[in-house]
Chain A
Amino acid sequence: MKSTRRRTIVKDILWVIAAIGLVAMIARFIRGLGATTALNDATPWGLWISFDVMAGVALAAGGFTIAAAVYIFHLEKYHSILRPAILTAFLGYVAVIVGLLCDLGLPWHIWSPMIHWQPHSVLFEVAWCVMLYTSVLALEFSPVILESPWLQTPFFQRLARWLKWFTLPLVILGIVLSTLHQSSLGSLFLIMPFRLHPLWYSPILPVLFFISAVALGLMMVTLEGFVSAYLFDHSPRLDLLAGLGRAAVWVLWLYLLARLGDLAWRGVLPAAVEGSWYSFLFWAEIGLGGLLPASLLSLRQVRTSPAGLITAAGLTVAGLVFNRLSVGGLAIFQTSGTSYFPGWVEFAISAGIVAGAGLVFLFLAENFNVFNQTGAHVASRPSPFDRPVFDAETRLYQGQNWWDKVSRRTFFLVPVVAVGIALLPAGGVGGQTGLHTPARAALGWTVMRINGNRNGLGVTFDHVGHQQRLGWAAASAGSTCIDCHHLNKPADEATACWECHQDMNQPASIFNHSLHQVELGGNASCGECHQAEHTAGAAKACAECHETMMPQAGEARFNNLAPGYKDAMHGACLPCHQQEAETQGKPELGRCPACHKFEDDATSPQTHIAQRD
């Protein structure tokens, strides 16, 4: 059958997108938000909030609109598109929740709003409404599952009868919840007038969000009607879809009136013609998702032709999703000087979730009476949950296992997953990119200035000298480039200075008393250092003999850039030590042995450093 073949191709494509999305999702949960997304402190909300959540919820508005038309307004002819509309809405909300789980920093706390109430928060209200409405949609759709021939047990039938009692209250509850949170998604932005451009920020954002969601919901159902007609080989119910178009005309013009009227009322209209990026964005959005489809749908010829309806519906969906993207990100001021463009993982997960929802829709549509057709064709289908039966005569298993249907796709799942992994950013594979240590060349590339803690200061690093001491690049010398430039460290992280110079902050035991004795001539030389009293405390300062060991004026700053290793270490400790030696009246603090001690000394600088940290 032609439609079966079409569905197979569509499912294959959806499988590929979903599989790559799954790889991206695994990377996001293993490596964290910072490593896999472009989100940052200046733009904490990105594609997942504006597309997956805000546009996703609006796209699922068809559920409550059609339910209201059928049950409240008794427009019985729309009953045949009610089930796919409810299913689309349900899957839309599940997709929203999955997207949200990816976006939340602590997704395992998603239950938190149920326990910790904060009713002043718009997001608290949205959370509750989404949670309740998803449950309502599941209940509204459950009769379709319960009526399937494979669930004809007394328990499920009793359940189905109970549910029917609650149809009307459920529908009304669904409409109330939808009205509240469709509008509240706009209210989310009321608290940030400083972020949103005035062409989008408006006190009536919630109203605009609600009206546009109704239009979006109607047009999404229209579009979905055409797609499923194409995929399932039944002719689209043009009379119904044209009726949706007629309703959408009113809603779209109302939306445009409210939107433009509000701008005029607040006197912001001049901003729409100032020729800035925001004004172009505004007209693109208003034209695509408002003026153009509203004008098209106002024409009877367009409404009654499939091509016209598809065009208008496509424009509305694209334009109003565009609107959500604008409010969620494009029209938000980037005041802090950092920018945001969604990362690959964000795109892959968003597309993967949509593809996954599409696959579930196709699965349910193929195995349950989603299109509300007369029972025969569905009942004749084998249950997807039936196990193959062993046939004793042929000694073969009869019937198809669900796994057999999947196995064809698992064949190309492996390369797809490989492609997905290959496409991951470095952070998605190796974790958070190592903190980049800026190194700048000084003095013709032989000496580098390394700014390790990025505080603007730094130390000079003699690269050639290190190369020389370690034996150049020759492997035969036993020491090569890899001593410092490891491959087993994430990203560009090189070896820190302290990894070799482990004595950097440790007590040094360089003062060797007996060696000094020998060098200076035995017992006769005591007076060389212990000039007044023969005690350690009254000894000469090291610098009095070893003049070059101390930083001298002009030497401390190498090439006016940064001190070298020795000077840097002296510079880090000495000023404070000398100051304290004076102010505290403890001269020994300012002397060399304060740091350069014998190893067995109890009050080593090691403990001093540890305390500081």
Chain B
Amino acid sequence: MSHASAVGMLIDVTRCIGCNQCVDACAQANNLGQDTPAPQDSPDGLSARRWNTVLMGPAGRYVRKQCRHCLEPACVSACPVGAMHKTPEGPVIYDSSKCLGCRYCMMACPYGIPRYQWDALAPLVRKCTLCYERLQAGKWPACVDACPAQATIFGTRRELLAEAHHRLETEPRRYLQTVFGENEVGGTSVLYISDVPLDFLARGHLGHEPLPALTEVVMGKIPPVALGVAALMGGLYWIIDRRMRLMGGHPAPVEHEHEIDS
């Protein structure tokens, strides 16, 4: 399934009334309890028990923050065991049976989304799954269902992009002329349109290049480097060993090792 037909959400910041019903619906759908983290523990309100939060953005706008379900997710690329997984349907989900708890996904996420169950003895990584189980049951994500203002809508990424651009065109004075998430870090499945800049959702400035590409460059060099180093070391050994033997007086090194090690 291509990225275009994968599903996602479109969040229209200008329509959000900040009622937090999406937060409550998320907590109910995922059995998270009613815990709001203290501001000093989590300034953005996300925690292992709160996967979705409504922030006060610039100019008093309400801005939802949750997993962006990137098309080329850094967390999936970082995870050494494939516990983080990009499903063909779009959501980025987590398999706790593989996870070893290294928290590299949390380090790698450019939006700072994955959270850890620090108070648990067998802690797991927690984040929005775009209600993957509900999707499979043919339902929408709980937050989309709950939104009374249709500020969050659900659909395939292609439909959502078309709708977003349609809104930008029909009401150009209402929106900044950009769809947040269309190109950032290679594109995200959760898109935003807004009348205020949403850069504060990311950790620092993000380009359009997918983050995993930064490591792919190096990872691709591993086989040649490994073979090259092995060949270089073997070759050097052979040349030096041969020269020393030809010069005479030195016993063959393998026998020499016997001598030293015994």
Contact present for A45 and B107 (CB under 8 Å): yes
In the assembled complex, the Cα of A195 lies from the Cα of B41 at a distance in Å of 19
In the assembled complex, the Cα of A192 lies from the Cα of B226 at a distance in Å of 25
Task: List residues 184-241 of chain B with CB under 8 A from any CB of chain A.
Answer: 202-206, 211-212, 214-219, 222, 225-226, 229-230, 233-234, 236-237, 240-241
Contact present for B233 and A336 (CB under 8 Å): no
20 contacts between A and B (CB under 8 A): A32-B120, A41-B47, A41-B115, A44-B116, A104-B102, A107-B101, A118-B81, A119-B219, A120-B216, A123-B104, A126-B80, A172-B237, A173-B230, A175-B229, A175-B230, A176-B230, A192-B74, A333-B203, A336-B44, A432-B119
A338 within 8 Å of B (CB atoms): yes
> Which 10 A-B pairs rank lowest in CB-CB distance, beginning with the nearest?
A105-B101, A34-B118, A194-B204, A44-B103, A124-B80, A123-B80, A109-B100, A118-B82, A116-B81, A44-B106
Q: If the complex has contacts A125-B219, A168-B254, A194-B204, are A74 and B104 also in contact, measured as CB distance less than 8 A?
A: no
In the assembled complex, the Cα of A143 lies from the Cα of B254 at a distance in Å of 15
In the assembled complex, the Cα of A110 lies from the Cα of B46 at a distance in Å of 28
B37 within 8 Å of A (CB atoms): yes
Contact present for A72 and B258 (CB under 8 Å): no
Other A-B pairs beyond A195-B204, A454-B36, 5, CB < 8 Å = A32-B123, A34-B123, A187-B218, A336-B112, A338-B40
- Distance in angstroms from B195 CB to nearest chain A CB is 24
Contact present for B123 and A105 (CB under 8 Å): yes
In the assembled complex, the Cα of A203 lies from the Cα of B226 at a distance in Å of 19
Chain B, Cβ-Cβ closest to A201: B214
Residues of B within 8 A of A337 (CB): 43
Contact present for A191 and B36 (CB under 8 Å): no
B110 within 8 Å of A (CB atoms): yes
B52 within 8 Å of A (CB atoms): no
Which of A103, A113, A164 is in CB contact (< 8 Å) with B258? A164
Contact present for A168 and B78 (CB under 8 Å): no
Residue of A72, A107, A206 with most partner-chain B CB within 10 A: A72
Which of A124, A164, A336 is in CB contact (< 8 Å) with B261? A164
Task: List residues 42-92 of chain B with CB under 8 A from any CB of chain A.
Answer: 42-44, 46-47, 74, 77-83
Which of A45, A116, A338 is in CB contact (< 8 Å) with B82? A116
A98 within 8 Å of B (CB atoms): no
- Distance in angstroms from B43 CB to nearest chain A CB is 4
In the assembled complex, the Cα of A338 lies from the Cα of B47 at a distance in Å of 13
State the B residues within 8 Å of A (CB): 34-38, 40-44, 46-47, 74, 77-83, 98-104, 106-108, 110, 112, 115-124, 202-206, 211-212, 214-219, 222, 225-226, 229-230, 233-234, 236-237, 240-241, 244, 253-254, 256-258, 260-262
- Distance in angstroms from B47 CB to nearest chain A CB is 7
Residue of B115, B205, B212, B237 with most partner-chain A CB within 10 A: B237
- Distance in angstroms from A336 CB to nearest chain B CB is 6
In the assembled complex, the Cα of A532 lies from the Cα of B252 at a distance in Å of 116
Residue of B82, B100, B234 with most partner-chain A CB within 10 A: B100
A180 within 8 Å of B (CB atoms): yes
Chain A, Cβ-Cβ closest to B35: A453
Contact present for B214 and A74 (CB under 8 Å): no
Contact present for B215 and A122 (CB under 8 Å): yes
Contact present for A73 and B240 (CB under 8 Å): yes
In the assembled complex, the Cα of A298 lies from the Cα of B121 at a distance in Å of 52
State the A residues within 8 Å of B (CB): 31-35, 39-42, 44-45, 68, 71-74, 76, 79, 103-107, 109-110, 112-113, 116-127, 143, 147, 164, 167-168, 171-173, 175-176, 179-180, 184, 187-188, 190-195, 203, 206, 333, 335-338, 372, 432, 435-436, 438, 453-455
Residues of A within 8 A of B123 (CB): 32-34, 105-106
Q: If the complex has contacts A105-B122, A117-B82, are A188 and B104 also in contact, measured as CB distance less than 8 A?
A: yes
Contact present for A143 and B240 (CB under 8 Å): no
Chain B, Cβ-Cβ closest to A204: B218
Residue of A32, A120, A164 with most partner-chain B CB within 10 A: A120
- Distance in angstroms from B115 CB to nearest chain A CB is 5
Q: If the complex has contacts A116-B81, A122-B218, are A335 and B204 also in contact, measured as CB distance less than 8 A?
A: yes
In the assembled complex, the Cα of A125 lies from the Cα of B215 at a distance in Å of 12
Q: If the complex has contacts A187-B215, A194-B204, are A372 and B260 also in contact, measured as CB distance less than 8 A?
A: yes
Chain A, Cβ-Cβ closest to B118: A34
Contact present for B107 and A113 (CB under 8 Å): no
Chain B, Cβ-Cβ closest to A157: B262
Residues of B within 8 A of A120 (CB): 77, 212, 215-216, 219
Residues of A within 8 A of B253 (CB): 71, 74
Contact present for A118 and B118 (CB under 8 Å): no
Q: If the complex has contacts A33-B118, A72-B236, A335-B203, are A104 and B101 also in contact, measured as CB distance less than 8 A?
A: yes
Contact present for B219 and A179 (CB under 8 Å): no
Residues of B within 8 A of A107 (CB): 100-101
Contact present for A118 and B79 (CB under 8 Å): yes
Residues of B within 8 A of A176 (CB): 226, 229-230, 233
Q: If the complex has contacts A120-B219, A122-B219, A195-B107, are A74 and B121 also in contact, measured as CB distance less than 8 A?
A: no
In the assembled complex, the Cα of A354 lies from the Cα of B201 at a distance in Å of 40
Chain B, Cβ-Cβ closest to A189: B107
Contact present for B119 and A106 (CB under 8 Å): no
Which of B37, B100, B256 is in CB contact (< 8 Å) with A104? B100
Contact present for A338 and B43 (CB under 8 Å): yes
Q: If the complex has contacts A32-B118, A175-B233, are A180 and B112 also in contact, measured as CB distance less than 8 A?
A: no
